Amino acid sequence: MIDPDGYRPNVGIILVRDDGSVFWARRAYRDGWQFPQGGMNSDETPLEAMYRELEEETGLRPEHVQVLGATPGWLRYRLPRKYLRQNEKPMCIGQKQVWFLLRFIGEEAHVRLDVTDSPEFDLWRWVDFWYPLAHVVPFKREVYERALRHLAPLAEALRASTNLGAISG
pLDDT tens by residue, 65-101? 999 999 998 999 999 888 888 777 788 999 999 999 9
Among 1-10, 73-82, 139-148, top mean pLDDT goes to 139-148
- The model's pTM is 0.92
Q: Rounded to an integer, what distance in angstroms lies between the CA atom of residue 139 and that of residue 107? A: 33
- Mean pLDDT is lowest, of 39-48, 82-91, 101-110, 159-168, for 159-168
User: For domain 7-161, which CATH number applies: 3.40.50.2000, 1.20.120.430, 3.90.79.10, 3.30.980.10?
Assistant: 3.90.79.10
Would you place residue 157 in the very low, low, confident or very high pLDDT band (cuts 50, 70, 90)?
Answer: very high
In a 10 Å sphere around its CB, with 0-12 CB exposed, 13-18 middle and 19+ buried, how is residue 130 labelled? middle
Sign of the torsion angle spanned by Cα atoms 1, 137, 133, 120: positive
Q: Rounded to an integer, what distance in angstroms lies between the CA atom of residue 129 and that of residue 131? A: 6
pLDDT tens by residue, 112-143? 999 999 999 999 999 999 999 999 999 999 99
> What integer best gives the mean pLDDT of the chain?
93
What size, in residues, is the chain?
Answer: 169
